[in-house]
Every structure is written in C-alpha cells, then in structure tokens.
C-alpha cells in the first residue's frame, strides 16, 4: 500500500505551475538569459524552486509516475549542477512534466480513507504496548485488522481479529498446561477439563483460576458469535459492526495481557 501526502503533492504541483508562469513572464519581458544567469540573480528563488521540485519528485515516486519522473529528474539535475540550461528549456521541461502527469494520473486510482478511520492505520500498537509485548504472534493480525477496517474491508477485519483471539486462546491453554489442539472446540474442552481438575484439587478457588474460567467462557462466546460464523460465506459485517468487534476484542486482549502471555 502506498501512502501519498496529498498536501505536499498539491503544494509541489501548484508550485510547478506558478514557477512555470513566473519563468514565462520573464521571457515575455525579454529577459531570456540563460537559466544559470537568471538564478544567479535570485539565489533564494532558486533554492525554493529546487526544494519544491524535490517534493514533487518524491510524490511522483510514491505514485509510480515513471514517465513524469524522467523530465523531473532532468530538471533537478540541471538545477543542482546550475548548468547552461536556458529559461526557455526550463519552461519546456515543466510543460512536459505537466502533460505527462495529467496522462499518468488518468490511469492511477487514488482511494481516500475517511478521517475517522485513519487512527486504525497508526504505526503505534493498536491494542496497546501490553498486548504487543504479551502476544507477539498476534501483532501482524492486529495491524491488518486495523488496515482492513480503515479501508472498509469489514469482514476481513473480523477474520483477522479472530486470528488475534486465537493467539490469546493458545496462550491461555499453555498457561493451564493444555497441549496443542487442532481447533477452538478442542482447546476449550481441554481447558474446561483442566479447570475442573484444578477446582477439585483445591480447597478454595484462587484468583487466577477465576480469571482463567472467565477467559474460557469469553472465548466460547467469541467462538459461537464471531469466529465460527465468520468462516462461512453467509456471514458478512458492516464497517460499523466490525469496529464494535474490534473494540471488544481489543478490550478482551488487554484484559488477558494482565495475567497471561505467550
């Protein structure tokens, strides 16, 4: 996925147009000296123009606009070297960039993420540092669930969240001494057996045993309500519902991270 800073791209593209108009105006006034001589008289303008062209180059590289980049590179090299490129040639290069960019943009699709969902593309751990550290195997799916949610791929978001929950389920089983199982149902049955065995062997119920029992019950709810239905094509989710599940799973995983980890 490419990330384009629209504000910087707009700033650079409009600056290119303004610079082109400025240079053309100089030419019309009969000041068609070499570009090196012209800039020598206005070093601040040269420096600013070069900076704006650098931003344009970076934006074009992000877009993959390779045909627009060729004249852009040519112009930057001329500006950097301060060679004998004339004012007229600079205007021609800017016109070429403008023409090529219009054609390339007609072939590129740009999708805009609703501002209220950009938080789910945050580089920081979406479920918090505690979950990030406690369940490292879930970190990729947590990030993917946020990315899917921000892009309106609601059902894909929930599928990733169920993989996140599975990391927590396996950690719970490991904490209770339950060996590797093939599916959620098997895990929960073995966890329940172990919890019952622990209860029979203790005179009082320890706080951690209550924590484990509540967690197992929550996993069973997740399995019945979201995990199993999501695996079938009949079930799909709206973005609003996926966001609710995202917040619920986030809260649950944060709770798990207070006592168990991978």
Question: Domain 6-105 is in which class?
Answer: mainly alpha
Phi/psi of residue 94, each to 5°? -65, -40
At residue 65 the predicted structure's pLDDT band, cuts being 50, 70 and 90, is confident
What is the per-residue pLDDT across 180-210, written as a single tens digit (0 to 9) for each? 999 999 999 999 999 998 888 666 667 788 8
**105 or 256, which is more confident?**
256
Domain with CATH 1.20.120 in the chain: 6-105, 116-256
CATH number listed for the domain at residues 116-256: 1.20.120
Mean pLDDT of 4-18: 77
Q: Output the CA–CA distances (angstroms, integers) from residue 150 to 26, 145, 160, in the order listed.
A: 48, 9, 13
Q: Is 164 exposed, middle or buried (0-12, 13-18, 19+ CB in 10 A)?
A: buried
What is the per-residue pLDDT across 101-149, written as a single tens digit (0 to 9) for each? 889 888 888 888 888 898 898 778 999 999 999 999 999 999 999 999 9
Mean pLDDT of 220-243: 93
pLDDT recorded at residue 225? 94
Mean pLDDT for the chain?
Answer: 86
pLDDT recorded at residue 40? 45
- Other Cβ atoms closer than 10 A to 31: 13
Give the whole-angstrom CA distance, residue 81 versus residue 182. Answer: 65
């Amino acid at each position: 996925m490419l990330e384009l800073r629209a504000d910087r791209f707009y700033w650079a593209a409009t600056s290119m147009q303004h610079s082109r108009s400025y240079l053309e105006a100089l030419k019309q006034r009969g000041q068609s000296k070499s570009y090196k001589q012209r800039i020598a008289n206005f070093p601040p303008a040269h420096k600013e123009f070069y900076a704006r062209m650098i931003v344009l180059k970076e934006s074009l590289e992000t877009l993959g606009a390779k045909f627009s980049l060729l004249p852009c590179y040519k112009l930057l090299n001329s500006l950097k070297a301060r060679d004998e490129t004339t004012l007229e040639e600079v205007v021609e290069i800017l016109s070429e960039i403008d023409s090529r960019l219009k054609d390339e943009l007609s072939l590129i699709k740009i999708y805009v993420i609703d501002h209220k969902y950009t938080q789910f593309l945050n580089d920081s751990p979406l479920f918090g540092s505690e979950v990030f550290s406690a369940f490292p195997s879930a970190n990729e799916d947590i990030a993917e669930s946020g990315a899917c949610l921000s892009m309106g791929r609601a059902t894909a978001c929930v599928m990733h969240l169920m993989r996140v929950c599975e990391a927590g389920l396996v950690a719970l089983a490991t904490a209770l001494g339950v060996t590797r199982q093939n599916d959620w149902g098997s895990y929960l049955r073995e966890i329940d057996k172990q919890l019952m065995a622990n209860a029979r062997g203790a005179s009082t119920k320890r706080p951690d045993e209550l924590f484990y029992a509540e967690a197992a019950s929550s996993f069973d709810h997740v399995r019945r309500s979201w995990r199993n239905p999501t695996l079938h094509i009949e079930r799909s989710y709206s973005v609003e519902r996926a966001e609710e599940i995202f917040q619920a799973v986030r809260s649950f995983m944060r709770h798990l991270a207070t006592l168990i980890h991978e």
